[in-house]
């Protein structure tokens, strides 16, 4: 895509971190939430989308994002960075708390346009990802799928095979695949497609 077509987000503001849905911003503004295993690249993707390197905190250590973080974009919509699931080193109790926080946000958030489930394109499909995706489906929650860290594939064929394996395992429970995006926070791949998709959804609710 030509540079002139690059999406520019003029104003991005960190609103706050919340651990209860009733405390989250409730203005009638479309929200887009990013969810997925710990360390899959949710916060990195938010920084890529907003073109701001240090907006969302990133860490090599899983479990960095522990609250629901809201970022207001151009005073018109929110990006929502959710804590990751499936971080084995945390206590069961803490994990259950995060799980509840994420699921209740996704199920109850009044202005959630869609969520994006991030899966690492380098890793075979994980049981927890699949059960989480199935839970979204059972609850009629719309979502897109984002394959992360595609810069790590040294060969195009390997990337294709890995993504196909993930798709196949989803198709064991689903008759079709949701909207899909391949992204890299390193190369920037996928940024424009994802922002175009969000812009298109925003027009449905007349966001400028
Ligand atoms: N090569 C590569 N590394 C990435 C990419 N995205 C994220 N990473 C790395 O993966 C690690 C985790 O990234 P985060 O963005 O913090 O992951 P997260 O999903 O927000 O993790 P939690 O907050 O723990 O749930 C960091 O070391 C990032 O630098 C990518 O597209 N390519
Ligand atoms: Mg994070």
Segment 26-84, tens digit of pLDDT: 889 999 999 999 889 999 999 999 999 888 887 777 666 678 999 999 999 999 999 88
Q: Is the CB of 58 under 6 A from ligand 1?
A: yes
Mean pLDDT of 160-182: 95
Mean pLDDT of 115-130: 93
Give the pLDDT of residue 59: 74
**Total-model pTM:** 0.93
Q: Domains plus CATH for the chain?
A: 10-204 (3.40.50.300)
Closest residue by CA, ligand 1 atom 3: 149
The closest ligand to the CA of 186 turns out to be 1
Q: Which of 33, 34, 36, 39 to mutate to test the pocket of ligand 1 (most atoms within 8 A of CB)?
A: 39
Distance 65 CA to ligand 2 centre (A): 4
What is the average pLDDT score of the chain? Answer: 90
> Which contacts qualify for 60-69: CB closer than 8 Å, 24 or more apart?
62/37, 62/38, 62/87, 62/89, 63/38, 63/87, 63/89, 63/90, 64/38, 66/98, 67/17, 67/18, 67/19, 68/17, 68/18, 68/19, 68/21, 68/24, 68/101, 68/102, 68/105, 69/14, 69/16, 69/17
**What confidence category does residue 85 fall into, taking pLDDT thresholds of 50, 70 and 90?**
confident
Q: Calculate what percentage of the chain has a pLDDT beyond 90.
A: 70
């Amino acid at each position: 895509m030509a540079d002139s077509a690059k999406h520019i987000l003029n104003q991005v503001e960190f609103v706050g971190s919340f651990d209860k849905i009733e405390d989250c911003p409730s203005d009638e503004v479309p929200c887009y939430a990013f969810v997925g295993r710990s360390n899959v690249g949710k916060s990195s993707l938010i920084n890529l989308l907003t073109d701001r390197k240090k907006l969302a905190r990133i860490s090599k250590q899983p479990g960095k994002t522990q609250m629901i973080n809201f970022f207001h974009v151009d005073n018109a919509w929110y990006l929502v960075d959710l804590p990751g699931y499936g971080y084995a080193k945390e206590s069961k109790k803490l994990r259950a708390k995060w799980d509840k926080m994420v699921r209740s946000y996704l199920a109850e958030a009044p202005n959630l346009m869609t969520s994006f489930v991030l899966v690492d394109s380098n890793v075979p499909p994980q049981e927890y990802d699949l059960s989480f995706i199935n839970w979204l489906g059972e609850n009629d929650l719309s979502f897109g799928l984002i394959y992360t860290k595609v810069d790590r594939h040294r060969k195009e064929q390997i990337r294709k095979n890995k993504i196909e394996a993930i798709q196949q395992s989803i198709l064991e429970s689903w008759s079709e695949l949701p909207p899909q995006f391949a992204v890299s926070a390193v190369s920037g791949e996928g940024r424009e497609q994802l922002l175009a998709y969000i812009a298109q959804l925003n027009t449905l609710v007349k966001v400028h």
